[in-house]
Amino acid sequence: MESIKYYSTNLHANEVTFSEALLKGIAPDKGLYMPKEIPAFSKEEIKSFSQKEYYEIAFEVIRKFLVGQIDDKELFALVKDAYNFPVPLEKGFENKYVMRLDQGPTASFKDFAARMMGRLMNYYLKKENRKLLILTATSGDTGSAIANAFYGLDNIQVAVLFPDGEVTDRQRKQMTTLGENIKIISLKGKFDDCQALVKESFADSDLDYLNLSSANSINIGRLVPQIVYYFYSFSRLRKGEENDDVVFSVPSGNFGDMMGGIFAKHMGLPIKKFIISVNENDEFPTFLKTGKYNKIEPSKNCLSSAMNVGHPSNLARLVALYDGVMDEKGGISQIPDMVKMRDDIYSISVSDKETKEMIKEAHNKHNLLLEPHGSVGWKGLTEYCKKFNVDKDQLCISLETAHPAKFPEEIIEILKFEPELPPSLEGLENKEEYCDNLENKYSDFKAYLINNYK
């Protein structure tokens, strides 16, 4: 079979293969890579997933996008290595469930994408006999997800910069206790200073030999693995009848997670409705209603902090999927098919007050322990069910994207107890830390890179 080509949503770059899109990240015209065609599963194939483990479903889904790009045996080994943790499905009430994507090494759903992207990058780099240095600045969470996902991969080095004293002890230890190919740098400065140094390094031709990459969230290699858990959860919870279908609710910020779900729908998963639940940054629900898009600048600070996004970086992909064109700044030169989009998608904005109330209600009424992001998703789902009088037998699944133990202050305030740590976050106190300290000076940082990576 011929391999799928990937085009840029800005339509001014050459089409590339999956591995090129993966290693490039962003297209030369600043657009996002999208598959030219979306592969589909037959009903029989989707039925057969009920008998498969998570990593086996991951193999089937990812393989569709990589035809002719990787050997089955190699891909199978990668997915088996990446997905070695459980994906629990908890019942709330009636036929309404929460899918917990919080059991990976950093207790965030971002582990699903980052672990697979790391392994795929490593595979192609090895084949081409190339090495890569991932350089990233973090205010806490992204750095640990990237460091953990790339830990131990032999053709990739990782250097993470964080602002001295501005990440929590636990966040720091999640990065500094790894070692091997992971270097962590504490900078005497702010997060913005860390970002500025990273930016300057990317623009410095003296460092071209290092083959720098940012592994950022718009990489197609992060999107494809996020299709898998939609198929997985449906395969576990479906009744097994011909006309089974499902409603998903996804707490959303940059829309990477929800794009995975929309892809799943376009691949044949019978998703009756897709609910995009956002916090008070409501640019998308307004767009869906009115067809007019206005970014929110600056974005609003809400409890679900990973979703404080006033212009979702993956929105251009959604627009492209519905035959529109949106550039990287949010300008629309071709309006997407809004009627079709509204048919597939419902979107709702949830306030901080409602987020807190729902954490309480979910715990007291349905015995579900949710953190602020998951609470936004669950609120979106329950509101949708009320508004449209959804049948009590309708299968509905809301995504929980982080572990409640990552938000102890909020949980203690609302529920009056401290959530237990998941195994992945336990025992960090006793591990040795590896960390370098640098002054906030580009010349020092450059010398550091040159000395460490020859």
CA distance 235 to 380: 23
Other beta carbons within 10 Å of 77: 14
Binding segment for ligand PLP (CB under 6 A), chosen from 75-83, 203-211, 247-255, 286-294, is 247-255
| Catalytic position from the list 36, 47, 73, 110 | 110
Q: Give 366: exposed, middle or buried? Use CB within 10 Å, 0-12, 13-18, 19+.
A: middle
Beta partners for 348?
277
Dihedral (Cα; 403, 405, 409, 413), 10-degree rounding: 80
Give residues 365-384 in contact with ligand PLP (rule: CB under 6 A). 373
Q: Minimum CB separation from ligand PLP for residue 372, in Å?
A: 8
Does 252 help bind ligand PLP (rule: CB under 6 A)?
A: yes
Tokens describing residue 161: 């910069």
Tokens, residue 207: 């460092």
Query: Least CB distance from residue 108 to ligand PLP, whole Å?
Result: 5
Q: How many CB atoms lie within 10 A of CB 67?
A: 13
Angle at 225 between CA 20 and CA 160, to 5 degrees: 70
Shortest spacing between CB 406 and ligand PLP, in angstroms? 8
- 126: annotated active-site residue: no
Residue 445's identity, in one-letter code, is F
Q: Which of 106, 148, 254, 281 binds ligand PLP (CB under 6 A)?
A: 254
Stretch that binds ligand PLP, among 1-9, 248-256, 284-292, 332-340 (CB under 6 A): 248-256
* Residue 156, both tokens: 């990739």
Q: Which is nearer to ligand PLP, 15 or 90 (CB)?
A: 90
Task: Considering the complex, state which of residue 183 and residue 373 has its C-beta at the smaller distance from ligand PLP.
Answer: 373
Residue placing its CB nearer to ligand PLP in the complex, 183 or 406: 406
Q: Rounded distance, CA 176 to CA 190, Å?
A: 18
CA distance 23 to 301: 33
Least distance in Å: CB of 229 to ligand PLP?
12
Angle between helices 110-127 and 72-82 (to 10 degrees): 140
Q: Least distance (Å) from ligand PLP to the CB of residue 76?
A: 26
Cβ proximity to ligand PLP, 161 vs 315, nearer residue: 315
Please work out the total of residues on this chain that contact ligand PLP, with binding judged by CB under 6 A: 14
Instruction: Return the residues of window 211-240 that contact ligand PLP according to CB under 6 A.
Output: none
Site residues, ligand PLP (CB under 6 A): 108, 110, 251-257, 306-307, 373, 401-402
Residues annotated as catalytic are: 110
